[in-house]
Amino acid sequence: MLALQLLVNGVLLGGLYVLVAQSLNLIFGVMGVVNLAHGAVIALAGLFTYWFTAQTGASPLLAVPIAFVAAALAGAVGQRLLIEPVMRAGGSKSELLSLIVTFGLSYILIELALQLFGADFVSVPYLQSSWTLGSLAFGKALVVAGAFAAGMSALLYLWLNHTMSGKALLAASQSPTGAICCGIDVARVRVTAFAIGVGLAAAAGALVIVIMPVAPQTAADLNLLAFVIIALGGLGDYVGVAIAAVLLGIAQSVAGYYLGGNAEYVLPYVLLLAVMVALPGRFRRVR
């Protein structure tokens, strides 16, 4: 029974991780932008959600669409004014350049979060009871956040694979020249991908804070988490990343129970090192 409980908790946590990673996957896999500001966006959105719920008393779920829209707009502007010019000037070094630019951007965002919300860890009290099924207990907040996040990831997947605009995005990532040969406006597709990626990261942030405390410095951990999942699942591989996210959720839930909270915290770092040593080609884009 204990094993089952750990499994369920892990899967729910994994549902949230899918969204954390998939939004990065979109930006990294589709556009070749190594977005180190990803974790900062998630943390900032989480802290915004804390402020928003404290001010209005509204459900944190209401903060999800607000964070999504605001971040997507900011992402679109940032992509046009900052990322795209850098990527265009960078040529073959554009991925490295994007890493440096977004690294700087992440510091700006973290500093902004410190100024706006302070340095403390905060959390949003939301649905703090549990549903029970036999001897299993499901934390309501974890169920809602995990299901909501997994649902958004599923929508992203359906959009990419079953609509023309989504396929145009995949096409532009697999061959920009080929996409142009189809009459696709690749520049517009890239703005859309970036905006949606940043928006989804913010949506993930609004859900993360429901189940774990967040502070501006959480940004680094969230970055690492997302990169580990993408490395495990395969860059640009949406199904692989979803599976990796759930497996990491389960691994963390099991490690946290048997080895304690520190092990749970260290696990992504250990996995990242293991992946980089065992599968050094994992960060290459899937072609």
Binding residues (CB under 8 A) for other proteins: these are: 164, 167-168, 170-171, 174-175, 177-186, 236, 286-287
Q: Least Å distance between CB 216 and other proteins?
A: 37
Q: Least Å distance between CB 191 and other proteins?
A: 14
C-alpha to C-alpha distance for 48 and 181, rounded to whole angstroms: 42
Q: Least Å distance between CB 29 and other proteins?
A: 11
C-alpha to C-alpha distance for 117 and 172, rounded to whole angstroms: 38
Which CB, 182 or 273, lies closer to other proteins?
182
Q: Least Å distance between CB 287 and other proteins?
A: 6
Which CB, 65 or 85, lies closer to other proteins?
85
Q: Least Å distance between CB 161 and other proteins?
A: 9
Query: Could you tell me the two tokens for 155?
Result: 């929508």
Q: Least Å distance between CB 188 and other proteins?
A: 9
Which CB, 186 or 247, lies closer to other proteins?
186
CA distances from 119 to 12, 130, 261 (A): 28, 30, 22
Which CB, 101 or 184, lies closer to other proteins?
184
C-alpha to C-alpha distance for 188 and 211, rounded to whole angstroms: 36
Q: What share of the chain is helix, strand, coil (3-state, %, to 5)?
A: 80, 5, 15
**Which of these, 156, 213, 203, lies nearest to 61 by C-alpha position?**
203
Classify residue 215 as left (phi > 0), alpha (psi -120 to 50) or beta.
beta
Q: Least Å distance between CB 248 and other proteins?
A: 24
Which CB, 111 or 185, lies closer to other proteins?
185
C-alpha to C-alpha distance for 174 and 33, rounded to whole angstroms: 14
Cβ atoms within 10 Å of 175's Cβ, excluding its own:
13
Which CB, 134 or 183, lies closer to other proteins?
183
CA distances from 251 to 7, 125, 139, 265 (A): 9, 25, 18, 11
The residues that bridge with 131 in the sheet, in sequence order, are 138
Residue with tokens 């939301």: 126
DSSP single-letter state for residue 120: S
